[in-house]
Amino acid sequence: MKLGKISWIALVVTILIALDGLYMTITHYQPKAVNNFGLSDGATILIGALFMFIITVVSVIIESRQSQRK
């Protein structure tokens, strides 16, 4: 599988995770178990989506540089 296809799949997954985090943040979802940092589950998921977005951008940059070399 080419890196470009993987980047598109990662982008779709990142968007879905970010939407889930936004939904949990907007609805003030607070389960009974709270972590030590005081972050809600929605905020934690949004942080994870941010990391995934950064990884996706890096993979797109790598793929574009590889395609320019060919």
Per-residue pLDDT tens digits for 28-70: 776 666 666 677 788 889 999 999 999 999 988 888 888 788 7
Identify the pLDDT of residue 36.
Answer: 66
Q: What is the pTM assigned to this prediction?
A: 0.76
45 sits in the region (left: phi over 0; alpha: psi -120 to 50; else beta) called alpha
Closest CA to 48 of 23, 6, 20: 20
Closest CA to 45 of 28, 11, 15, 21: 21
Domain ranges across the chain? 3-69
Asked if pLDDT for residue 19 goes beyond 90, the answer is: yes
**CA-to-CA distance for 42 and 45, rounded, in angstroms?**
5
pLDDT in tens, 2-11: 777 888 888 8
